[in-house]
Amino acid sequence: MGRVAGVVIEAIDLAAWAPQALDVQAVAFGLTPEEVMVRLHIVGRHAQQPGVIAFGAFGGGRLIGFGYGMPNHREHWWSTVIEPYLVARGHGDWLDGVFAVTELHVLPEFQGRGVGSALIRTLTGRSGMDRSILSAIDAETPARRLYRALGYRDLARAVHFPNTERRYAVMGASLPLRGAGGAGSAHSAPANSR
Which positions are catalytic? 147
Phi/psi at 173 (5° precision): -145, 150
CA 106 to each of CA 15, 24, 43, 66, 120: distance values in angstroms, whole numbers, following the listed order:
18, 7, 17, 7, 11
Closest alpha carbon to 12 in 63, 46, 48:
63
Closest alpha carbon to 97 in 172, 159, 169:
172
SS3 assignment, position 54: strand
Say how many residues make up the chain. 194
Other C-beta atoms within 10 Å of 132: how many?
Answer: 28
CA 63 to each of CA 8, 18, 23, 134, 148: distance values in angstroms, whole numbers, following the listed order:
10, 11, 9, 22, 26
Distance, in Å, from the CA atom of 76 to the CA atom of 80, rounded to the nearest integer, reads 6
